[in-house]
Structure 1
Amino acid sequence: MTRWKMLMKRLEQQGARVHPLEVQPAATEAELVEVEERLGTPIPFVFRALLKQGTQEVRMYWSLPDEVILPDEIEDKPAGDFGWSLSELDWPYFGDDGDETDAPRYLQFHTAGNGDALLIRLDEGVADPSVWYWSHEEDEFDLMAPSFIEYVERVTTLGCIGADCGQHRQFCGEDGLDTGSTTAQIWSNWLERYLTLTLEQSSASLEALLIYASMHGAEDQAIQDAFAQYDRFEVYGLIRSRVIHARQSDHKQAWSEVMVHVSATEAADWVRSLWQENEEYEAIPVGVRDYLTAYCLPEAEGLPLVIHEVENGENNGAVHPYDALHRLRHFRSSAVINWMKSHVAFPINGWDSLLAISQPSAEELLAWLNGSDAERQTALHAVCHMMQQQIVPVTPVDVAQWKQVLSEWRDKEILRNNKRIFEQAISGLSGWYAS
C-alpha cells in the first residue's frame, strides 16, 4: 500500500492526471460470509485473507498528459486502472453468446474502463488461484498471473497499469504479465525517470532538457526559459530532427508542439518548405504541417495555404465541414470565420465547432444568428458549445440584446428540438460573458 501511495504522489507531482487513491478498511468476517452466501461459494483463501487483513476495496486511476512522448517500443500509452472490491465481487456475465459453463469457473473482482473484466479462476482446492482478463469484444481470456498475489506484485511493478487489452498485452508472455520482458523493462525505466527527473536537473544539458520536454511538453514558461540558455538554432535543429524522424504521428505532433513553444521563429523557413513536394514533405503528416503552419507562419501567409487545399480536396469542389474543422482549427482567427461563411450549409456538424474555436466576437455571432438558416443554426450550436466549454467571445455580450434576438428566433421555430436549444442558450446567458 505504501508503494501505491508513493506512486500516486509522484505521478501527481509530475503533472499526471490522478484520481485520489481509494483504500477501504479491511473486511469483517461477517461481511465476507455475507458475500460468500450471496455467491454460493467460498472466496479463495489467499484473496479472502487479503480482504480481511488488508483492504476490502482499493481503486486507483491515473493517466499521463497528452504531451508525453513514450519510447517507440511502447505501442499503447499505459494508464492506471487497478483495484478490487468485495461488495462488487460477482459472477461474470459473458454475454448472450458466451459459454455459460465458463461463468461458474470465475469470480469477477474488477471491471476495466472499457467494460472488460478481471477474474479469479476458481480451480478446486487452489488457495491462491490464477488471475485472468476477459475481453467482451473478442470473447477471449488472457492469463494475467498464476496467482492473485503474483498479479498484484506484477501490476504494482508496472505502475498499476490498466486492465484493458491495450494496456497489458504489450507486457504479457505465456505466464501472464512479464515484468522482465524487454518492453516491460523499457516502460519501467521510462516511468521511473518520469517520476524522478526534475527541470533543474534537466537544464544542465540540452539532451536532458529534450528528454524532459518529451515528458512534459514545453508550454510552461520555465521550460522555455531553460531552452533559452542554449543556442537557438541548435535547439531548433534537434527538435526538427525529432519531428522528422519520430515513427508515430502523435509523436511528430508532440515534438511539433515543443517546436512551436521553443523555436517557432527559427522553424518558419522549414515550414514553408513543407508546402513543396520533397523528402521531408512526405515525412510530415498533413495535420502536423497544418499545425506548424498556423503557429510558425504569419496568418496572412499560412492560412491561404491551408484553405487552398481544403477548397480543392477530394469532394468535387465541396468543402467537407469536418475537413475544414480539423485543418483550420489551429488558426483561431476571424479570418477563418469570414471564409467559412460562404461555405456553411446543412448539416452543420463541424461548422459549429469551427466557429466556436475561431475566437468569434459577440458581434460576429450575433450577425450569424441573424443570417441564413444554416448560419443561425451554426451560431446557435456554437454558442451552446462555447457556454459548455466556458469559452467566451472576444468582445462583451449585451445580454439584453442577445436575449431579445434569441427569444424572437425561438418563438419562430417550429421544431421542438430547435426551440430547446434556443432555450438552453437563453438560460446560459447570465452566467456566460455579460457586459
Structure 2
Amino acid sequence: MWIERWHHLLKQLEQQGAWVHPLEIKPVATEQELIIVEERLGVRIPSELRDLLRHCSQQVGVYWSLPDEALLPIELDNTPSGDFGWSLEELDFPCFGGDDENLDEQLYLQFHTAGNGDALLIRIEDGSVWYWSHEEDEFDLLAGGFHNYIERVTTLGCIGADCGQYRQFCSEGGLDLSLTSSQIWLKWLEQFLTLTVKQAMFNLESLLIYVSMHGVKDASIQEAFAQFDASKVYHALRSKIEQALPPADKKAWSEVLVNVCAVEARDWVRTLWKDQNDFLSSIRDFLTAYCLPAEEGLSLVLLDIEKQKIDAYTALHRLRHFHNPKIITWMKHYVAFPIDGWDTLFSESQPSAETLFEWLNGSEVERLTAIRTVCQMMQKGMKPTTLIDKEKWRQLLSFWKENEILRKNKQLFSQALEGLDNSL
C-alpha cells in the first residue's frame, strides 16, 4: 500500500507542476542477499527494516520539489520537499567524524543520506529511527520503529531528509502528525495536490489560494481574474502584499497585482513615495516600474537614487525593472569600473545604434561598457532600436580591435565585427 501511495503522490505532484523524479523501486531482496550484507556488517538488520527489504523493496527513492512560485504558510520554518528512501546496497555503519574510533557509530546503521550530507539511521538495538546532523553533531528521534517512520513520513508527503524539514514536524516522541505545524502543512499539501484552476476560478478567495501555489504566469489564470470586479481584486491583492511578512512573499503577490490590476493600483503606488512608511524599497520599485506610466515611474526612482547617493550596485539593482532609453542618459554620469551589470542595464534599456556608437567613441569606461553591451545583444538576438551604419561601425570596431591593449578587449571587438559581418 505504501508503494501505491508513493505512486499516487508523485502523480499528483507532477500534475500540479512540481518537479518529480521517477519513483525508484527495486525488486525485493532475497534472503541470501540479506545474509551477505549482514555478514559484511557483522550484525543482523533490525527486523522491521529487514522485513521491508525482503517483502517491499531492497531500494526506494522518492524525490520531488515544489514550484518556485509556491508560497508556503508562514508557520512553517522550512519549505518541505521530497527526499525519502532506503538502500540495502548502501546500508552501513555511519561515520560521525573525528580521528578516534567512535563507538556510537556501531550502534546504528545508516539507511539513507540526506542531500546536505546528514544521515538517517536505524538503531540496531531497538529499531528506532534517528536523524543525525553532521554540522551540529546532534541526534533527533524520528520514530520508535521503521514502519511507524515510513507511515508518518508518507503521510507528510515523503518529506525530508534534512533536519530543517523534520524538526518542524517533531515532538519529543519523533514525527508527530498532531502538531499544529503538521496539520497546517497537511492542509496546505492537500489543497496543492487537489485544487485546480477550473475549481478555483469561480471564487476570488479560492483563486488567490491557487495563485499562491502556482503563480500567475499562465494566461488562463490572468483571464480568471478578469471575471471579478477589478476594484475588489486590487484591494484583495494589496491586502496580501501589505500583510505578507517574508519579502519573497511580498514580491510574489506584487507580481500577481501587476499582471491583473496594475492600473487600479496606480494611486496606491504613488502614495508609497509620498507617505512616511516602512514599505520595502525593492517592492516599491517593482510596483512603480509596472504600475505607473514609464516616464513617471523612472523619474521617481532616479530622483530617489540621486537623493540618497547610493552605490552603483544598488542603483543597478533598483533600475533592473525599467527598460527605457533615459536610463542610458542617466548612466553616463555614473558608469564606472568594474562595469559588470552596466552592460546588461544598457542592453535592456532599448539603445539606438547612434547611442551605442557614441559610447563606443567615448571614454574608456563608456567604450568597454558599450562593446560588452553590443556583444551581449548579439548573443541574445537583440537589436538596436535604429538601423546600424555598418560601414561606419566596421571602421570603428576594426580600429579598436587593433588598438586595444588587453587581449580580452580585442576579442570583444573581434566578436562584434564577426557578428556585424554575419548580419549582412
Output the TM-score relative to the length of structure 2. 0.83
- Distance (Å, rounded) in 2 between the aligned partners of 1:15 and 1:34: 42
Alignment partner, residue 7 of structure 2: 5
**Alpha-carbon shift at residue 232 of structure 1 (Å):** 0.7
- Once residues 244 and 286 of structure 1 are traced to their aligned partners in structure 2, the CA distance between those partners, rounded to angstroms, is 13
2:110 aligned with 1:108: yes
Residue 164 of structure 1 aligns with which residue?
Answer: 162
Alignment pair present for 1:320 and 2:309: no
Q: Secondary structure at the match of 2:112?
A: strand
Q: Tell me the SS of whatever aligns to 1:60.
A: strand
Which has the higher mean CA deviation after the structures are superposed, 335-344 or 66-75? 335-344
Deviation track 1:126-171 (CA, whole Å, cap 9, x = no partner) reads 3xx1221222222222112222221111111111112112212111
Pair 1:339-2:334 in alignment: no
Question: Is contact 2:63–2:84 with CA below 8 Å preserved after alignment?
Answer: yes
**Unpaired segments ≥5 residues, structure 1:** none
State which drifts further: 150-159 or 358-367.
Answer: 358-367
The letter for the 1-side match of 2:219 is: Q
What's 2:257 paired with?
A: 259
2:231 corresponds to which residue? 233
Q: Deviations over 1:205-253 (max 9, x none)?
A: 2222222222222221111111111111111111111111223322222
Distance 1:34 1:319, change over 3 A: same
Cα deviation per residue 1:370-391 (whole Å; 9 max; x = unaligned)? 765555665677788889xx84
Q: Could you tell me which residue of structure 1 aligns to residue 321 of structure 2? A: 330
Percentage identity across aligned positions?
A: 54
| Deviation digits for residues 296-353 of structure 1 (CA, Å, limit 9, x no counterpart) | 112211122223333444xxx46231x2343222224444444335433333444455
C-alpha spacing 1:248/1:97, structure 2 compared with 1 (3 Å): farther
Aligned 8 A contact 2:131 2:141 in 1:
yes
The residue identity in structure 1 corresponding to 2:305 is V
Where does residue 135 of structure 2 map in the other structure? 137
User: Does the Cα contact within 8 Å between 2:65 and 2:81 map onto a contact in 1?
Assistant: yes
Give the letter aligned to residue 228 of structure 2.
Y
CA displacement 1:257-276 (0-9 Å, x = unmatched): 11111111100110111012
Counting only pairs closer than 5 Å after superposition, residues 14-25 of structure 1 correspond to structure 2 as: 14-25=16-27
Amino acid of the residue matched to residue 166 of structure 2? H
Q: Which residue of 2 aligns with 1:290?
A: 285
TM-superposed deviation, 1:52: 2.7
Q: Which SS does the other structure have where 1:265 is aligned?
A: coil
Q: Which residue, 47, 52, 57 being the options, matches 1:50? A: 52
Query: How many Å separate the matches in 2 of 1:375 and 1:99?
Result: 62
Q: Quick one: distance in 1 between partners of 2:362 and 2:36?
A: 66
Check 1:212–1:413 CA distance in 2 against 1; reply closer, same or farther (3 A cut).
same
* Bigger Rg, which one: 2
Q: Give the whole-Å Cα distance in 1 for the aligned partners of 2:317 and 2:235.
A: 28
Q: In the alignment, which residue of structure 1 is the partner of 2:183? A: 185
Change beyond 3 A, Cα 1:358–1:45? farther
Tell me the equivalent position of 2:90: 88
Q: Point out where structure 2 has 5 or more consecutive residues left out of the alignment.
A: none
Match of 1:244 among 228, 242, 245: 242
SS in 1 for 2:168: helix
Q: In 2, distance between residues paired with 1:366 and 1:165? A: 56
Aligned residues: 415
Which of 368, 393, 408 does residue 382 from structure 2 map onto?
393
Residues 51-100 of structure 1, C-alpha deviations (whole Å, 9 max, x = no match) = 23222222222222222222222232212222222333333333348982
Structure 1 distance, partners of 2:88, 2:332, is 57
Q: What's the counterpart of residue 175 of structure 1? A: 173
Aligned partners of 2:214, 2:149: CA distance in 1, in Å? 30
Per mean C-alpha deviation after superposition, the further-off stretch among 367-376 and 217-226 is 367-376
SS of alignment partner, residue 109 of structure 1 = strand
What is the alpha-carbon distance in structure 1 between the residues aligned to residue 255 and residue 97 of structure 2? 44
SS in 2 for 1:208: helix
**Partner secondary structure for residue 266 of structure 1:** coil
Tell me, in whole angstroms, the C-alpha distance in 1 between the residues paired with 2:141 and 2:25: 26
Asked if the contact 1:68/1:254 (under 8 Å) is kept, the reply is no
* 1:303 corresponding residue in structure 2: 298
